Amino acid sequence: MVDSVQTSVEDGIATLRLCRGAQMNSLDADTARVIRDAVEAFAADDEVRVMVLAGEGRVFSAGGDFNWVLTWPGLDAITRHAGADAIMGAVQAIYDFPKPSIARVHGAAVGGGIGMMLACDFVVAVSSARFGLTSVRNGLLAAIAIPVLIETVGPRKARQLLMHGGMFDAATAQRLGLVDQVVEEDRLDATVVALAQELKLGAPSVQTLIKKLIPAIDAMPHDSSAADLLGGQVANQSVTEEALEGMGAFLAKRKPKWAL
């Protein structure tokens, strides 16, 4: 089952590639656990600056594996719950990844595939890609995607997409805010690599701090709490080694060490 996911690291860019092409890169519990473990390994690897999530074969990911889910009626409730938790855990691991992440989307992203896609910080998709939260039309709940979908498009649009269940094109996905860049197929890899290289110019500690702060501040009431939190973070970050290196590099008109 480890072969369901392939990983590599080159020039600070880690790639996690879904390799269940025959199953349209759909997810079962074992695959989800391998994804979680791979993401956590990338997080702990100081050589990794950016993670790219991609799919092999015809599509990015079709979401949950129906052949696997159809075995659930014969399982006890604890086992079913563990399977669902494994898939939710894979998406959460991608979301919690402390470094920049990019989803490279081709073919289609459906259901839980959209969940994994939106758990990344950036989404680059080919113009021919198709998207859909189709679970409702199969009598299922696209729970994998719900938290990141609400964060991306807001509660009202999330309700509409989840209740309708139809497919839509890349231009619509970009208009909705699900996709950041739409490119032609022959430009997909180059665009992803270019974005990853641009992200490597940022200070790693600040990028990690941003990923922690945005959800925390978003959950706060609109009062002085956010200002107090940010004031402390600014004061602390300004005396770190990376801050001193970054300011010194700017004044000396050179690149900081992490961007070399």
Domain positions in the chain: 2-199, 204-259
- Is 149:115 a contact under the CB 8 Å cutoff? yes
CA proximity to 132, closest of 160, 151, 104: 160
Q: Structure pTM?
A: 0.92
Query: 39-56: per-residue pLDDT in tens?
Result: 999 999 999 999 999 999
Rg over CA atoms, the chain: 19
- Strand order across the 130-132 sheet: 108-110, 130-132, 167-169
Q: Quick one: pLDDT band at residue 194, thresholds 50, 70, 90?
A: very high
Q: Quick one: pLDDT band at residue 181, thresholds 50, 70, 90?
A: very high
pLDDT of the residue at 1: 42
Average pLDDT, the chain: 93
111 φψ region: left (φ > 0), alpha (ψ -120 to 50), beta (else): left
Q: Determine the CATH number of domain 2-199.
A: 3.90.226.10
pLDDT of the residue at 186: 97
pLDDT of the residue at 13: 98
Contacts of 153 (CB under 8 A, 6+ apart): 161, 176, 177, 178
pLDDT of the residue at 73: 87
Percentage of residues in the chain having pLDDT higher than 90: 73
Does the pLDDT at position 206 exceed 60?
yes
- Is 48:14 a contact under the CB 8 Å cutoff? yes
| Cα diameter, the chain | 67
Query: 94-116: per-residue pLDDT in tens?
Result: 999 999 999 999 999 999 999 99
CATH class as words, domain 204-259: mainly alpha
Query: 2-22: per-residue pLDDT in tens?
Result: 589 999 999 999 999 999 999
pLDDT of the residue at 223: 73
Does the pLDDT at position 230 exceed 80?
no
Task: Specify the range with the lowest mean pLDDT, choosing from 71-85, 94-108, 181-195.
Answer: 71-85
Better pLDDT: 141 or 178: 178
Task: Specify the range with the lowest mean pLDDT, choosing from 28-37, 198-207, 242-251.
Answer: 242-251
